[in-house]
Amino acid sequence: MLLDSGAQKSFIKSCYIEGLKLPIVRSRSFTTTGMGELKESFQSDEVLVTLKSLHYSRKLQRLSVHTKEKLTSMVKTAVLSEEDKTFIKDRNISIAQKDNSSSEVSPDLLIGQDLLNTIIDHNAAALKLPSGLMLTPTIFGYTISGTSQIIPSIDREDIHFSTLVVATPVTSAKDDYKNDIKHLYELESLGLNISNDSHEAAMIKFMNTYRKSIVIENGRITAGFPFTEDVTSLHDNFNVAFRRLQNLFRVLRSDTEKLSLYDDTLTDYLNEGIIEDCSNTADGIATFYLPHRHVWTPSKSTKLRVVFDASSHDKDQLSLNDVIYEGHSLSPLIHEILLKFRTHQYTMTADIQKAFLQTRLPSNHRDVTRFLWVQDINKPAEGSNLRYFRFCRVPFGINAGPAILNQSLLKHIEETSSQMGQELSNSLYVDNVLLEGNNPGELLAKYRESKKIFSSIGMNLRDYLSNNVERNDPPLYTFENFPIDMDDTEVILLGNYSVDENFPSAVYWCTLCDYHMSSIQHVRVHFEQHQHFADEQPQNSMSTQPLFLARNGILANS
């Protein structure tokens, strides 16, 4: 493996598609630019790979890389001095490569900037060897790089340098453009290209099997975690959680308001049955302690939120998220929902109150959600003052949270066997519901029926908003939580999604004007230029001119 900070994308040798049976996601054209502005155009397959350490049980699953026949010329690994080797041995430093000897290698995998941050271990410090070489921490161990101040420099002819920069494709540009547009409307955008990806098919099969394990009884949903086979190797993470608690407590003790709010929040969780006390011994499938911290938002009604870290882990150990299948929420594609949302004259949105905290955990899964607090906030966070909690519900911070919620809701909706249930299953997006109607009466009926379906499992649909502003129909607005008083302008965030981490996307909806916007800047401009809409009737959703932020940063007027 070669870590190349000058490359924008990551590549693997093409020969490994057959050798490792790598699932192909899609194909595309690339043009790379190297030293001296030398350009090369080629066809490349996007494939999914799993990387595993030579020394630890940690691994990175389903990384997206592209194929190329040849990555670089032969390169030499670093030459370590005897002092370097002693330094590494005395400190018990794990090196990512097989051994410390120097050799010529041909990299099979080139990691570029798109995956570099995933590979680098940001919790460990870089180290400098006596020779001047640097040890850079990765999740697979330390890599050796830099220039030695002791070892004589290598002959110039042995020095190799490779930089890959993704440029605008110059081959098959027309076909690529068509494929990108087609790709916008396919399930592939959500990672559900079953026909080309056996891993995806297996994952969907697994999640469908997992759905059968969900129990809905007496209006309550009980769903466990979809554990991987690595759960048996899960370390309890107690030391990390304990250190983080002590650091947190030192911060909170200097601000009594935050400390009191923190304690009150956990007490509320306890009273509401979200968490429960537990002993310091466990008897579940595995045990894991979650570190936690606070997010301070004094301008909001909830000033302090407690956030749990399921990605935390001790050195060379697995995190809780590492041993849980993230799965797929199997929610409809966000683009599909938003486009369909504009095809009806009357539309409505709602949100499931505390959706993620409504799903109960079976007792044998609760010990992986343990966390530490104190008996008395006026005493140090140690010894007999420690208090042990664990979650009774699925907590925030679990990577599979959206999938667990969605599978639970789909199972309940399927059991209703109604037309409304089918519509809900096609319009759920995480904890949001989007519904359409041909007239106000139909919308009102869907409001009532959707409330009934969710209340039967103890969930409350709230914050209903609609674009129906017919002022001659005041009874429509007399129901609790049903559409807003249209004397007040409302803008809500319909969807927040990203197909490129450098280009996050969002869609806002002004219910007053039935107008869609792609950024908060558009919202501000809209209010400056369209205040006169307050006195006009709503337009058909298809006749408006919303700005829609599509894939790859394309803005489209419709």
> pLDDT tens-digit profile of 130-180?
888 888 888 778 888 777 665 444 444 443 333 333 333 333 333 444 444
Within a 10 A sphere around the Cβ of 252, how many other Cβ atoms? 20
pLDDT of residue 36: 56
How far is it, in rounded angstroms, from Cα 459 to Cα 462?
A: 10
Q: Are 228 and 326 in contact (CB under 8 A)?
A: no
How far is it, in rounded angstroms, from Cα 481 to Cα 455?
A: 14
| 376, two tokens | 């008395």
pLDDT of residue 336: 66
Per-residue model confidence as pLDDT tens digits over 497-520: 433 443 334 455 555 555 555 544
Q: Are 428 and 495 in contact (CB under 8 A)?
A: no
Direct distance between the N- and C-terminal alpha carbons of the chain, in angstroms, rounded to an integer: 46
In terms of Cα–Cα distance, which of 247, 223, 226 is closest to 372? 247
Highest mean pLDDT among 78-82, 309-313, 408-412, 521-525: 309-313
Within a 10 A sphere around the Cβ of 317, how many other Cβ atoms? 17
pLDDT of residue 44: 84
pLDDT at 239 over 70: yes
74 and 56 belong to one structural domain: yes
pLDDT of residue 150: 58
| 43, two tokens | 């066809």
Within a 10 A sphere around the Cβ of 110, how many other Cβ atoms? 23
249 and 339 belong to one structural domain: no
Residue bearing the bigger pLDDT, 332 or 121 = 121
pLDDT of residue 112: 83
Tokens 């969710």 belong to which residue?
454
pLDDT at 550 over 90: no
| 240, two tokens | 């990390």
In a domain, 495, yes or no: yes
137 and 94 belong to one structural domain: yes
| 352, two tokens | 């499931």
pLDDT of residue 373: 96
307 and 162 belong to one structural domain: no
In a domain, 57, yes or no: yes
341 and 241 belong to one structural domain: no
The mean pLDDT value for 215-237 works out to 89
The mean pLDDT value for 16-37 works out to 74
Q: Which range, of 58-67, 256-265, 533-542, averages the lowest pLDDT?
A: 533-542
261 and 144 belong to one structural domain: no
pLDDT of residue 337: 64
How far is it, in rounded angstroms, from Cα 80 to Cα 395?
A: 47
Please tell me the total number of residues recorded for the chain in this structure. 558
In a domain, 182, yes or no: no
pLDDT averaged over the chain? 72
Domains contained in the chain, number: 3
Per-residue model confidence as pLDDT tens digits over 350-382: 888 777 778 899 999 999 999 999 999 999 999
As to burial, measured by CB atoms within 10 angstroms (0-12 exposed, 13-18 middle, 19+ buried), residue 197 is: buried
Residue bearing the bigger pLDDT, 506 or 123 = 123
Range of the domain at 219: 199-333+356-391
In a domain, 236, yes or no: yes
The mean pLDDT value for 192-219 works out to 67
pLDDT of residue 406: 80
Within a 10 A sphere around the Cβ of 379, how many other Cβ atoms? 12
In a domain, 520, yes or no: yes
DSSP 324: B
For every residue of 98-164, DSSP letters joined together read: S-S---EE--SEEE-HHHHHHHB-TTS--EE-TTS-EEEEETTEEEEES--SSSPPPPGGG------
341 and 205 belong to one structural domain: no
496 and 422 belong to one structural domain: yes
- Sign for the CA dihedral angle at 256, 262, 265, 266 comes to negative
pLDDT of residue 280: 77
Percent of the chain with pLDDT over 70: 67
Q: Are 430 and 405 in contact (CB under 8 A)?
A: yes
pLDDT at 102 over 60: yes
Within 8 A by CB and 6+ apart from 161, the residues are 35
pLDDT of residue 339: 67
Amino acid at 93: I
In a domain, 529, yes or no: yes
414 and 342 belong to one structural domain: yes
Within 8 A by CB and 6+ apart from 169, the residues are 28, 29, 30, 31, 41, 176
Tokens 């009466």 belong to which residue?
441
| 409, two tokens | 């809701």
pLDDT of residue 248: 94
The phi-psi region of residue 170 (left if phi > 0; otherwise alpha if psi is between -120 and 50; otherwise beta) is alpha
Q: How many helices (H) and strands (E) does the chain have?
A: 12, 29
What radius of gyration, in Å, describes the C-alpha atoms of the chain? 27
How far is it, in rounded angstroms, from Cα 420 to Cα 155?
A: 74
For every residue of 349-374, DSSP letters joined together read: EEEETTGGGSEEPPGGGGGGGEEEEE
| 228, two tokens | 């991987």
208 and 156 belong to one structural domain: no
The mean pLDDT value for 319-340 works out to 70
In a domain, 180, yes or no: no
139 and 15 belong to one structural domain: yes
DSSP 227: B
Percent of the chain with pLDDT over 90: 18
How far is it, in rounded angstroms, from Cα 451 to Cα 254?
A: 45
pLDDT at 288 over 80: yes
pLDDT of residue 542: 32
Q: Are 348 and 436 in contact (CB under 8 A)?
A: yes
Residue bearing the bigger pLDDT, 485 or 214 = 214
pTM of the prediction? 0.53
List the beta bridge partners of residue 52: 59
Four-point Cα dihedral 165, 167, 172, 175, nearest 10: 110
For residue 14, CA distances in Å to 41, 42, 101, 160, 368 come to 15, 12, 28, 21, 40
pLDDT of residue 54: 67
pLDDT of residue 488: 39
For residue 191, the SS3 value is coil
pLDDT at 181 over 50: no
340 and 360 belong to one structural domain: no
Residue bearing the bigger pLDDT, 341 or 451 = 451
In a domain, 419, yes or no: yes
pLDDT at 412 over 90: no
The mean pLDDT value for 219-234 works out to 89
pLDDT of residue 341: 64
